[in-house]
Every structure is written in C-alpha cells, then in structure tokens.
C-alpha cells in the first residue's frame, strides 16, 4: 500500500517548532534529530550551542508534544548568501538522505528568495533578521531528520488549508497585519489555501509555511481515504482562547482499492428561477467539459410559486471551487449549496473492439464495468460509434447496439471459460 502523510494546520496554523514536535510525537528518532542539530554550531559561527528539549504539554485539556530549543546565539544580521552557504555545509555533513537534504536546502532557498523579493534586492544584498537565525536552521534540519527517520519522503503528503490567524504582528521591520508579508508571498507563490482566524494572533510563520510548501503534493479540504497508523500532535507556544493550539500529523497508508470501491464526492446545487433553458443547457455542458463527474437538471417550484430549475453537479471535492465559479458565472446565481456524498462505484474502463455488423467489420468503443471479482458485469457500446455504424449499414441504431452488445458479451464469456478450463488442467494444479 502507498504510504500517505496528512498535515492538518486548519485550526491552529503551522510553525517550525510545531512541525518538529508533531513528527517527534508520531515516533521520529530524537537522537537522529539531535545529531543533525549539533552540526549547526559547528558550521554557523553565530550559534555557540543548541539543545533540544522534548516534553508533554497540555492545551485546552489535550496532551501534545512540546519542544524547546535552547540556543546560545549572537544576535546580528547575516547576508542571504552566507546563510545559504551555512545551510549547504550542514546538509553536506549531515547523515541525511538526498531527499531530506534537498528539502532543507529548498526551504531555506525559498525563505531567501521571498525576503529578497519583498525588499527589492538580490541575494547578495539581502540581510536576514529572524529568517537568518539558528532557530530557522534547527526547524528545517530537525524536520528533515524527523521525516527521514520515519521514512516519509517516499509517502504522498497531503495538507488541509492553513489557518493564518489575524490581527497584527511586530518584528524587526515594525508592525504589520497578519498574515505577515513573507507568509503571504509564500502562499501566493505555491497556491497554498489559507483560512483567516480562528484567533487574532499569528498562527502561520514563514518557516512553517515554507516547509509545508516544499513537502506537500496536494491540498484538500477533507482527509483522504486512508488507514491511520500513527498520529502526532505538536504544540504551539501561544495559548489560544477558542481552541487547542497544536498541529496534527497523521501517518498511514492508502487502502487497497477493490474493484467495487467507495469514494467521497461533492454535490453542488443551486436553484434557478430566472434563467432560460438555453443558458441552463449551456452551463451543464460547460460543467461536464470542466471535469464534473455528472451534471443534470430537475424541475422545481420556488418563491411565489414560480417554476424553475435545480442544477445538480457531482464532482471531485478538489474541483468544488472551480465548478462553483462556473455555475455562478454561467447562470448568475448568487449561491451554490455544497455537501459531501459517499458513493459505491464499479471499476470502469473503455476498450476498442472489432465487431461484425451486416457482414462488415467495424471498430467500436465499449465501456466495461467490473465487479469486485474482476468479472465483466456490464457492456455498453459508445453511442457515437453505434450511430456511425448504423448510418454505414442502414440499420436502426437500437438494432446495431443490440448486435454489438451480444457479440462483445459472448466474447468475454468465451474468454472466461477458456481461462477456467486452462487453470483446471492437471498440469496447472497446485502441488
């Protein structure tokens, strides 16, 4: 089964120490993390010593892992190029996989690029303040070592949207609104979905968001289908009034998907009582072309007994925003209802087969549906191909469809019988 990691910053946001603490809580090797952290004072002259402390903390009654980084460091500016050189030296001397080293290097590079862009300078001219601290190096290399020890760089990584908080934050460049400019630039660059609140404090830091950007394969409003094996909770440093302050990570695997499988789909609906049938038809066609699994219209009766239409769209949850925008743009509706549905589906595939109709051979596409055992339970020819054949031979399309369906079904029954006959021969028996 494919390994999967879910990172959930949707309530309390994300920071470097929360990231590291969550992976430690999920079982990361703390000695491997300490071994990497001890390289920081060796290669970074500003840092004299660094020590990692791990403890259980409680936030709104929930236990989580909290970390403390005891860092002795000279507070001064450092050029972006110098900081990158230090990062490269640590990566070269650390006992990390190539994926882990690249993750740490890329995270620091993004921070440097963002700082340079925000200040209108290049890497040689940019001087780092908070981003150039030993704490930043401890976060990125600590997380790299933690994920290495858990063998997570081979897993699919999915994240929920990031809660960024609200209000204002004060740092070396003064007081600014939240999210801070660096966070905003990173989420824009990597198209990371964000949520304001739920607290009026800074919940997402540049280091935390940068690491997330360099790990995640996709973002999702909901958790994917998975079997959870380990769960880790990494505590933040601030006490929130409304909710526990922790980052949750879930390590697991995608389940083996049977041929008859369940899936989560999103249902979108809107009421239309002032739109012509032509516009509704055009909207349905556009939604299907844009990736909707299905779209259809039913009749409805609305305010003041006005007749109208109800537009229904079935889609993948990841396409919700895109398709909702199409619905509103095409129909002029002011709102779209959303709800999650669970549905069971048979595995489907399309094949092109040769069939004989009226003494002539034609290529026809067919849709096959398989049951859990793998047997074909339904055969449906592609109607556009049926219509083409019907015109060629001068028969009704309904009759051609019957001929093709019977031929294809018989072929699959024959193949099944031959396979069973071969497997039952004495020479093929298990010893």
Write out pLDDT tens, residues 179-195: 989 999 999 999 999 99
- The CA-atom distances, in angstroms, between 245 and each of 60, 199, 240 are 8, 10, 6
* Residue 300 burial class via C-beta count within 10 angstroms: exposed 0-12, middle 13-18, buried 19 and up: middle
What CATH number does the domain located at 347-426 have? 3.10.20.300
266-313 tens-digit pLDDT = 999 999 988 999 999 999 999 999 999 999 999 998 888 889 999 999
Give the model's pLDDT for residue 379: 83
Q: What CATH class is the domain 262-335?
A: alpha beta
Residue 333 has pLDDT above 80, yes or no: yes
CA gap 431, 414 in Å, rounded: 28
User: So where are the chain's domains?
Assistant: 3-253, 262-335, 347-426
Q: pTM of this prediction?
A: 0.65
Mark 223-249 as b/e (b = at least 16 C-beta within 10 Å): eeebeeeebbbbbbeeebeeebbbbbb
CA gap 79, 368 in Å, rounded: 62
Q: Which residue has the higher pLDDT, 417 or 265?
A: 265
Residue 263 has pLDDT above 90, yes or no: no
Average pLDDT over residues 346-358: 86
Residue 423 has pLDDT above 70, yes or no: no
Average pLDDT across the chain, whole number: 89
Average pLDDT over residues 4-29: 97
CA gap 402, 406 in Å, rounded: 6
> Tokens at residue 103, please?
């993750």
Contact between 205 and 16 (Cβ < 8 Å) = yes
> Tokens at residue 233, please?
């909770």
Comparing C-alpha atoms, which of 365, 370, 367, 377 is closest to residue 347? 370
Q: Distance between alpha carbon 359 and the CA centroid of its chain, in Å?
A: 52
361-403 tens-digit pLDDT = 999 999 888 766 667 777 889 999 999 999 999 999 999 999 9
CA gap 16, 143 in Å, rounded: 8
> Any idea which residue has 């339970």 for tokens?
377
Contacts with 143 (C-beta within 8 Å, 6 or more apart), sequence order: 16, 19, 20, 23, 103, 211
218-259 tens-digit pLDDT = 999 889 888 999 999 999 988 998 899 999 999 999 876 554
CA dihedral 131, 135, 139, 140 (to 10 degrees): 50
């Amino acid at each position: 089964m494919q390994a999967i990691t879910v990172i959930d910053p949707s309530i309390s946001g994300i920071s470097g120490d929360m990231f590291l603490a969550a992976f430690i809580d999920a079982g990361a090797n703390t000695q491997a993390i300490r071994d990497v952290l001890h390289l920081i004072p060796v290669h970074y002259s500003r840092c004299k010593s660094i020590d990692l402390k791990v403890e259980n903390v409680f936030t709104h009654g929930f236990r989580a892992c909290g970390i403390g980084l005891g860092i002795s460091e000279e507070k001064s500016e450092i050029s972006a190029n110098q900081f990158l050189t230090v990062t490269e030296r640590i990566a070269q001397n650390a006992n990390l996989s190539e994926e882990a080293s690249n993750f740490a290097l890329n995270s620091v590079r993004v921070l440097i690029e963002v700082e340079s862009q925000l200040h209108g300078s290049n890497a040689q001219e940019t001087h780092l303040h908070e981003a150039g601290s030993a704490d930043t190096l401890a976060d990125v290399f600590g997380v790299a070592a933690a994920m290495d020890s858990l063998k997570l760089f081979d897993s699919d990584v999915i994240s929920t949207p990031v809660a960024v908080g609200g209000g204002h934050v004060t740092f070396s460049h003064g007081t600014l609104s939240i999210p801070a400019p660096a966070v905003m630039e990173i989420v824009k660059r990597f198209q990371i979905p964000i949520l304001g609140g739920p607290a009026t404090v800074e919940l997402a830091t540049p280091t935390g968001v940068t690491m997330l950007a360099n790990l995640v394969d996709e973002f999702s409003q909901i958790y994917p289908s998975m079997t959870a094996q380990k769960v880790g909770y990494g505590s933040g440093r601030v006490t929130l009034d409304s909710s526990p302050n922790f980052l949750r990570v879930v390590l697991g695997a995608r389940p083996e998907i049977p041929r008859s499988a369940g899936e989560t789909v999103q249902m979108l609906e809107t009421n239309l009582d002032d739109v012509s049938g032509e516009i509704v038809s055009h909207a349905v066609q556009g939604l299907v072309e844009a990736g909707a699994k299905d779209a259809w219209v039913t009749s409805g009766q609305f305010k003041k007994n006005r007749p109208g239409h109800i537009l229904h769209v079935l889609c993948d949850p990841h396409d919700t925003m895109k398709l909702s925008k199409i619905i509103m743009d095409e129909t002029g509706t002011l709102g779209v209802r959303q709800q999650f549905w669970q549905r069971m589906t048979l595995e489907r595939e399309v094949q092109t087969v040769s069939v004989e109709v009226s003494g002539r051979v034609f290529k026809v596409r067919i849709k096959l549906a398989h049951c859990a055992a793998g047997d074909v339970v339904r055969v449906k020819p592609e109607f556009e191909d049926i219509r083409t054949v019907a015109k060629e031979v001068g028969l009704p399309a309904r009759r051609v469809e019957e001929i093709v369906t019977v031929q294809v079904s018989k072929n699959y029954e024959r193949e099944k019988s031959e396979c069973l006959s071969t497997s039952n021969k004495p020479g093929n028996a298990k010893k």
